[in-house]
Structure 1
């Protein structure tokens, strides 16, 4: 049965949306203005890659509590019948040694000047555009620059993210004076923005146009780099303009596993996408009953726990990993791990050795090109440090390192940390099926597993797969469950030894997008009810 042949009506969860169909192009993102910016570029003659860049640039403005120019990105592209991956995540500064960090404290701080790593987003846009785009970068980034310059009304979702960050940083601003840069830019009236208020940022618009005009040179080896350098020196941070000057994204082949006839693709480490692939490989060896059967959910949870235990022990910058990707993804190893899944909840241990704000979007065009794209600042607005005149929030990805001296992901200079953000892609018989992704920290591989299983094992359509109630493995036997999960499932999981917390609200469980293409070339799009998700198509 094809992934595009749905068991309509068998599983239909309450949804605000139906599937969206299109022919010439489609952009799915977590904000209507971002999706529209991407569609505008498609209509101007751009391709899916141009559209994704336009949407990604726009969403740095309209959803600043989830991502920004000062963050990182990963992309999986299907272009001209081939799959490509771009790792545009930044490395740590040259002087960020474990010893230098230890001199300041026992851990890397989550906010402030210290956890800032080199931003990869602008270089990622430039590289994607130059290698695979059709329009100039100036054309592609201009819709976002206009939104930043003219302003837009803030939504409930965006306002709530603003308020969360305001509370967090307000408690820390006395100890971290550099956080005042965030308040100057994002709370100039001394408070976060309310829904419906107009937000604009002339500095953000200026930065986008400088990046476009100079092909990123202004950011990495020009006036913006100089400002980042001076800001870091002022507050005794690690990052310097030399770190920015040397940065280049990496083209890299995505990794995959087969799952019941489909090839599921993720980016290799330093991202955590391999955890989703390991969990799916384990699950492939386990009989699953109905979609809403408590035993199915129990087995999915146990599979993700086993995969996380190995991933957290081994994932780091690919150059520093001791275990190979092939070993982690081998089918015999997955089968051996599957044998550990029983009827009861178990705390998983690594089988190999003993040893936490994101946006996701997808785009497709009538030429057959498709892209799965994700970018993030981490923990909402990132470090809380902003380059004032340019509106750039700098990320705090050094928090992804560990201080354990013998761990492959130990903090160190010019090294990429364990990364949470992961784009996904599906193919079958060497043909593209389509991009998918669900943003949200540690939730991401867990949601990848749940959504792929829903579509492949139980033939849910993409929208129903995104709408379905989700679970989140926290640690040990602790799991969080969406409040809409049926009570009989919750009770069964408790009997099996899971320590269940029912969580109201939507923030913990991720926000996703899916675009699939059928054999006739028709595009099928689904978006997330847990966000301001929107699909623009024509």
Structure 2
């Protein structure tokens, strides 16, 4: 229970339905959809699309999504809504230019956006109200405008340099980023959403809208064709599962990085985490060392589903045991290999549970702040730079190539207990996400924290040769970690942003929303 003398927020409790997102308007719209008779999928889709208007630096219809969802007694299902490199993609061509990575701001980094295909598919197969009803809130706010929230303004300022060409006209005002309280409008996206509401996914992937996106890319030297857009398609897949102290953790499979969170927790099982100070140096050290090893495995093994061949090895108990044996409880390992993907933090996450206890865990992103920085001329659709998640290493499973899906950082998750879903959750934050999942699960299982406290608690992340510690850690902890050999830094931007809903046996729902973002949990 939190100390009510100190700043903080309470969890939200409700019985009929609950939603948690990183923006209050999206949360409110999702709850309204539930009150109108929509189910959790309807609410999640309506809220997710609106988040692209509320937080355009984070996500939008030019991005990708992954979704986990469940109904009581039907298990957890997964949908992969991530796009592919165009048919003309060539790692050899980029290597011939002397490149070692896929440039973040180039058309080569743009994979075909697949979230819209996934949303259309899920509205038809799992929703109740129909696509037209679900898109109306986003259409309204895209036209009427959304006041820019404080964290969104912070990110807008930090990511403004990514915007190029037509994107500067659509996402800057007089050449400057929007500030807190400024009203952002996206009339071009409103028109696109109207067309999708009327004619479905083909309104996005064929005809004028697809032509607008393809033209923005080919003008910069991209090899994307209208056939690439027409071929985009989401697909059902099989989740991956792990266990930690009586809890089952379900993650989205590759090309998502969810298996990394399971491996990280499997390594942590070999240490007495519960016996450590939850905000002390020992726990931060062990978690950092385990993350270095888990992420190194991720970078070696995870890729397009058709090219990931060693997932079973990655998740095997003996693999975790061998990695745990490499950890010195007192001294830091040298940094693992540099990440094979360009890690960043820009993603939105939404979770909804309805009165029938359908649960949805949905994550939706354009990758870096404002994605590639490339937007279509007429409609202002920002295009993701997920292709930066590929490697240019010849023969690597995650090598950039035609029609391939890159290794993705975005991962929705669900916790189970005794075979039943008890908590859909996600922790936004690019490469941080597996560490964020493991830490949230450990906060609950090892330290018995209540859900909001588990979300609020300070975070750390071994990333790119440094150990990032949020300002919530004491100076003495930073000193001890430095003495152990870590290069400690305090980042300007906080680590991640979590949203979660706990489904209690009493029938009560408990929602938590991260204060590191602008959002909230609401129920009824």
**TM-score, with normalisation over the residues of structure 1?**
0.92
Shift of 1:112: 3.4
CA contact (8 A) 2:303 2:398 kept: yes
> In 1, Cα distance between the equivalents of 2:450 and 2:201?
40
CA contact (8 A) 1:228 1:240 kept: no
Equivalent residue in structure 2 for 1:33, among 6, 12, 25: 25
Mean Cα deviation higher: 282-291 or 528-537: 282-291
CA contact (8 A) 2:335 2:464 kept: no
> In 2, Cα distance between the equivalents of 1:502 and 1:48?
38
Aligned residue for 1:433, secondary structure, equals: strand
CA contact (8 A) 1:480 1:502 kept: yes
Aligned to 1:372: 361
> In 1, Cα distance between the equivalents of 2:183 and 2:301?
45
Aligned length: 512
Aligned to 2:187: 202
> In 1, Cα distance between the equivalents of 2:33 and 2:19?
10
> In 2, Cα distance between the equivalents of 1:293 and 1:188?
45
Aligned to 1:22: 14
Aligned to 1:537: 523
Q: Cα–Cα, structure 1 residues 402 and 37, in superposed 2: closer, same or farther, change >3 Å?
A: same
Equivalent residue in structure 1 for 2:469, among 457, 464, 481: 481
CA contact (8 A) 1:113 1:237 kept: yes
> In 2, Cα distance between the equivalents of 1:230 and 1:89?
21
Aligned residue for 1:490, secondary structure, equals: helix
Q: Does 1:97 align with 2:90?
A: yes
Shift of 1:491: 1.9
Equivalent residue in structure 2 for 1:442, among 431, 439, 445: 431
Equivalent residue in structure 2 for 1:234, among 175, 196, 219: 219
Shift of 1:223: 2.1
Q: Does 1:361 align with 2:347?
A: no
> In 2, Cα distance between the equivalents of 1:112 and 1:185?
18
Shift of 1:518: 0.3
> In 2, Cα distance between the equivalents of 1:475 and 1:385?
27
Aligned residue for 1:530, secondary structure, equals: coil
Aligned to 1:317: 304
Aligned to 1:427: 416
Aligned to 2:316: 330
Q: Cα–Cα, structure 1 residues 439 and 144, in superposed 2: closer, same or farther, change >3 Å?
A: same
Q: Cα–Cα, structure 1 residues 14 and 445, in superposed 2: closer, same or farther, change >3 Å?
A: farther
Q: How does 1:12-91 map to 2 (within 5 A)?
A: 15-81=7-73, 82-91=75-84
Q: Does 1:260 align with 2:240?
A: no
> In 2, Cα distance between the equivalents of 1:104 and 1:359?
34
CA contact (8 A) 2:162 2:373 kept: no
Shift of 1:103: 4.8
Shift of 1:207: 1.1
Aligned residue for 2:233, secondary structure, equals: coil
> In 2, Cα distance between the equivalents of 1:341 and 1:45?
52
Equivalent residue in structure 1 for 2:198, among 194, 205, 213: 213
Shift of 1:250: 1.4
Q: Does 1:127 align with 2:114?
A: no
> In 2, Cα distance between the equivalents of 1:347 and 1:436?
32
CA contact (8 A) 1:13 1:464 kept: no
CA contact (8 A) 1:254 1:268 kept: yes
Aligned to 2:444: 455
Shift of 1:144: 1.0
Aligned residue for 2:105, secondary structure, equals: coil
**TM-score, with normalisation over the residues of structure 2?**
0.94
> In 2, Cα distance between the equivalents of 1:125 and 1:93?
21
Aligned to 1:509: 495
Aligned to 2:514: 528
Aligned residue for 2:490, secondary structure, equals: strand
Aligned to 1:172: none
Deviations 1:85-121 (A, max 9, x none): 1110001000001133345551421113231111011
> In 1, Cα distance between the equivalents of 2:403 and 2:42?
30
Shift of 1:189: 2.3
Mean Cα deviation higher: 206-215 or 292-301: 292-301
**Structure 1: tracts of 5 or more residues without a match:** 1-7, 170-178, 351-355
Aligned residue for 1:285, secondary structure, equals: coil
Q: Cα–Cα, structure 1 residues 213 and 15, in superposed 2: closer, same or farther, change >3 Å?
A: farther
Aligned to 1:494: 482
Aligned residue for 1:525, secondary structure, equals: strand
Shift of 1:14: 5.4
C-alpha root-mean-square deviation of aligned residues, in Å? 1.7
Shift of 1:238: 1.9
Aligned residue for 1:442, secondary structure, equals: helix
CA contact (8 A) 2:494 2:516 kept: no
Aligned to 1:159: 153
Deviations 1:479-510 (A, max 9, x none): 0111221222222212222121123x4x2401
Equivalent residue in structure 1 for 2:111, among 105, 113, 117: 117
Q: Does 1:347 align with 2:334?
A: yes
